[in-house]
Amino acid sequence: MRIRIGYDIAFESSSPTPMILMLSVHPSRLDDLTTPQEIIFDPPVPARTYADHFGNICTRVVAPPGWLAVSSEAVVCDSGQPDLVAPGAEQLPVADLPDGVLEFLLGSRYCETDRLSDMAWSIFGNILPGWGRVQAICDHVHDRLAFSYPDARSTRTAWEGHQERLGVCRDFAHLAIAFCRSMNIPARYCTGFLGDIGVPPVPDPMDFSAWFEAYLGGRWYTFDARHNTPRIGRILMACGRDAADVALSTSFGPSRLSGFKVVTDELSQESGGFA
């Protein structure tokens, strides 16, 4: 399967504004690109990339005063297989977890384990550890929150999402992550492309998507509390403790998002690439 991905994003700044952009495909998917990924800036500006400590590809630029358009397009080869389901995956004791996984047990900006721990144990404490417990968390979050694109809010935390009972994909992921960590299951936030492949299309505008991964049986597995069913065609861009670690843009000065379009489509066998 070939999947067309891309975006056109625009920022407006009143003065030269340093920015960190996290808009590249994750290193784990680079070999699946049919052409090297390239971010195009209009007007052209100097840019350089680096890898953060999670392994994500970050791009540094200084946005000029006025308008800066940022765009990219690519075709990704994908297996076409849905997310892996492994009911036998076991939850490892904390003492047996690798050192690099431990930070994904801790509370973070949007995942307040201190406020949700007692609730988590009261709801999920009697469920056997492992895959079934993570799936029970996803079921609860999926039923608890109503998806509402107009109610998106960048400051909503896991606790607030639980209390308000609504949110967008990032809120579903944050709440599920906070519950997992409260139950001593390492969980990390993921962002990337996820189109309506293999499912009926929805009327909401195409956007970047958020899901999470839980560490079970010595590896990371994909879970999605919003859709709560295995999906086809996830293209990972970045992962971290929560959305604060993988923001598509971080501006060090006044800057406004003034244009936003995301594309994620399955290409037909006959199509040669972008139209």
Pairing state between β 166-167 and 249-251: unpaired
pLDDT of residue 269 exceeding 70:
no
Question: Mean pLDDT over residues 85-107, rounded?
Answer: 98
pLDDT of residue 94 exceeding 60:
yes
Residue 172 phi/psi, 5-degree rounding, is -60, -45
All domains of the chain in start order, with CATH: 2-79+248-266 (2.60.40.2250), 94-246 (3.10.620.30)
Classify residue 203 as exposed, middle or buried by CB count within 10 Å of its CB (0-12, 13-18, 19+): exposed
pLDDT of residue 206 exceeding 70:
yes
User: HSE (CB half, 13 Å, CA atoms) of 223?
Assistant: 35
Pairing state between β 17-21 and 219-223: unpaired
- Is omega for the bond preceding 43 within 30 degrees of 0, making it cis? yes
Judge contact between 119 and 270, C-beta under 8 A. Answer: no
- Top-confidence residue, 205 or 216: 216
pLDDT of residue 14 exceeding 80:
yes
pTM: 0.95
pLDDT of residue 25 exceeding 70:
yes
pLDDT of residue 275 exceeding 50:
no
Question: Mean pLDDT over residues 145-166, rounded?
Answer: 96
pLDDT of residue 63 exceeding 90:
yes
Separation of alpha carbons 50 and 60, rounded Å: 8
The confidence score (pLDDT) of residue 201 equals 81
Handedness of CA 171, 174, 177, 182 (dihedral sign): negative
* pLDDT grade for 272, boundaries at 50, 70 and 90: low
